[in-house]
């Protein structure tokens, strides 16, 4: 039996240097594809494309991961930019939102990671906290530049996430934004000790749609990705 094919969205960077070359490149931290592979799936990296192609791409996948990355353009959820919100990556926003919409429309199992959780929420009409208060930000959500920190999350009993992670766990994390108002049909599936939403999922439990604020690709716990691969393999 063939392993499920899991697509993972990527960054499009204007300048990446390797060897004697300095060129635009579609890139992704290796932790993502390695996590898919270690969890029993085949990884396919998805560079940004015309949003009109998203349905055709997702139709060839068994599962989709929307990866972490830069802040979402606040225009997408009707907000003015906070002074500490990062620059807009509108091409990536448009592409990944189209991927999410295609996955939801087609029933393709979906896992959002960090930015991916925020995009899922925005895709369904939700809003974001653009910058966590400094006293919260220094309490475990964001480490030093380029370094993950860890904090505990508590899954909500009775949720899909609670079935995958039934106990409180320490997770790798790096973010300064978070979900604020939940999008249509979504419910909270985990919280940090300070109340920050750490996971969301569909309230009706129809299909595998789950997103987390932390970075499982930076840790050793395979349970989340194994759950996605299992759902993808059962279609």
**Which residue is associated with the tokens 């949003």?**
51
Six-digit token pair at 200? Answer: 């969301």
CB half-sphere exposure, 216, CA atoms < 13 A: 30
Active site residue 215: yes
Q: How far apart are CA 61 and CA 4, in angstroms?
A: 8
Average pLDDT for 183-194: 96
**Beta bridge mates, 17:** 22
Out of 141, 175, 176, 215, the active site residue is 215
Confidence category of residue 136, pLDDT binned at 50, 70, 90: very low
Q: Residue 223's pLDDT band (boundaries 50, 70, 90)?
A: very high
Residues 6+ apart with CB under 8 A from 223: 164, 165
**Three-class HEC string of 179-192:** ECCCCCCEEEEEEE
| Residue of 77 and 141 predicted with greater confidence | 77
| Catalytic pick among 96, 198, 201, 217 | 217
pTM above 0.85, yes or no: yes
Portion of the chain with pLDDT greater than 70, in percent: 97
Structure confidence by residue, pLDDT tens digits, 38-64 = 999 999 999 999 999 999 999 999 999
Question: Which residue among the candidates 33, 96, 114, 201 is catalytic per the annotation?
Answer: 114
Task: Please indicate whether residue 217 is annotated as part of the active site.
Answer: yes
Question: Above 80 in pLDDT, residue 75?
Answer: yes
């Amino acid at each position: 039996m063939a392993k499920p094919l899991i697509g993972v969205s990527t960054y499009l960077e204007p300048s990446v240097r390797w060897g004697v070359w300095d060129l635009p490149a579609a890139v992704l931290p290796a932790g993502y594809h390695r996590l898919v592979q270690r969890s029993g799936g085949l990884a396919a990296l998805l560079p940004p494309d015309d949003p009109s192609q998203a349905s055709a791409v997702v139709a060839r996948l068994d599962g989709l991961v929307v990866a972490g990355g830069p802040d979402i353009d606040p225009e997408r959820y009707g907000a003015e930019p906070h002074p500490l919100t990062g620059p807009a990556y509108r091409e990536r926003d448009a592409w990944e939102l189209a991927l999410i919409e295609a996955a939801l429309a087609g029933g393709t199992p979906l896992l959002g990671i960090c930015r991916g959780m925020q995009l899922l929420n925005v895709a369904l009409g939700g809003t974001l906290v653009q910058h966590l208060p400094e006293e919260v930000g220094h309490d475990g959500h964001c480490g030093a530049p380029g370094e993950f920190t860890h904090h505990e999350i508590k899954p909500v009993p009775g949720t899909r996430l609670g079935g995958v992670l039934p106990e409180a766990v320490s997770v790798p994390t790096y973010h300064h934004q978070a979900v604020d108002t939940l999008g249509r049909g979504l419910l909270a599936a985990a919280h940090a000790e300070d109340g920050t939403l750490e996971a969301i999922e569909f309230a009706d439990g129809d299909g595998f749609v789950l997103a987390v604020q932390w970075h499982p690709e930076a840790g050793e716990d395979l349970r989340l990705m194994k759950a996605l691969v299992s759902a993808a393999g059962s279609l």
